[in-house]
Amino acid sequence: MNLYSDIRNYFTGRSKRESLRSIRKRNITGKQIVNQEVFDHIYACIFSEDRLVVMRSIAAAVKITAAYPEYLLPHKESLLNRLDHSEKKKFKWHLAVLVPRLRLNKTEIRKAWRIIAKWVMDKNESRVVRIISIQALIALARQYPALLNELSHTIQVFKNQNILPVTTGFREFA
């Protein structure tokens, strides 16, 4: 079997007992991805109608781009567009991890910041989405220091909401 068949089977093959939780048991890493073309195939699965395929592909994209962030470059526009249209909490926090790995211009930074900051401030959003989103804002502010004042304000408001895991790690920004 070749790598393309393995990837296709990884994302589409499932037994009746397999669920979204089984994603953690699967293991696709950047070491198995040999080039941009293979990553592009994985990224394309993010647009699948099958939720399991979407979650497996976005999880794989996070793992792969930790080692190879440049693989995201051809997908920058579609990734930023997904920010506007994401509703599932697991998908949102994966997007929040991916966005700081992109090289963004001022317009793109503003768009990403606006959406991710909205996730941070939304009390109806899950704690995981909110915490990972604040980490994404920190990563963006480190890349774009002009955002440090906004970050400081956002963290202060967020800390006042008493989300415990967060209150300990952001002293340098508050």
What was the pLDDT predicted at 16?
A: 38
Q: Which residues does 144 contact at the CB level (< 8 Å), separation at least 6?
A: 104, 109
Q: Is the pLDDT of residue 25 over 80?
A: no
Inform me whether the pLDDT recorded for 143 exceeds 80: yes
| Mean pLDDT within 62-74 | 93
Annotated domain spans of the chain: 1-67, 84-174
Are 7 and 28 a contacting pair, CB within 8 Å?
yes
Between 9-23, 32-46, 133-147, 156-170, the lowest mean confidence (pLDDT) is in 9-23
**Closest Cα partner for 135 from 155, 160, 159, 150?**
155
Closest alpha carbon to 73 in 108, 124, 45: 108
For residue 68, give the DSSP letter.
-
> Does the pLDDT at position 131 exceed 80?
yes
**CA distances for 158 relative to 33, 134, 154, 166, 167, angstroms:** 38, 9, 6, 8, 9
Residue-level pLDDT at 85: 83
CB 39 within 8 A of CB 30: no
Per-residue pLDDT at 70 exceeds 50: yes
Please classify residue 164 by burial: count the beta carbons closer than 10 Å to its beta carbon, then call 0-12 exposed, 13-18 middle and 19+ buried: exposed
The reported pTM is 0.79
Q: Percent of the chain, pLDDT > 70?
A: 73
**Confidence class of residue 75 from pLDDT cuts 50, 70 and 90?**
very high
pLDDT recorded at residue 153: 85
User: Is the pLDDT score of 2 beyond 60?
Assistant: no
Within 86-163, residue ranges assigned H as helices are 89-98, 106-121, 127-143, 148-159
User: Alpha-carbon distance 10 to 60, whole Å?
Assistant: 11
Q: Tens digits of per-residue pLDDT, 77-88?
A: 999 999 988 888
Q: What pLDDT score does 19 carry?
A: 46
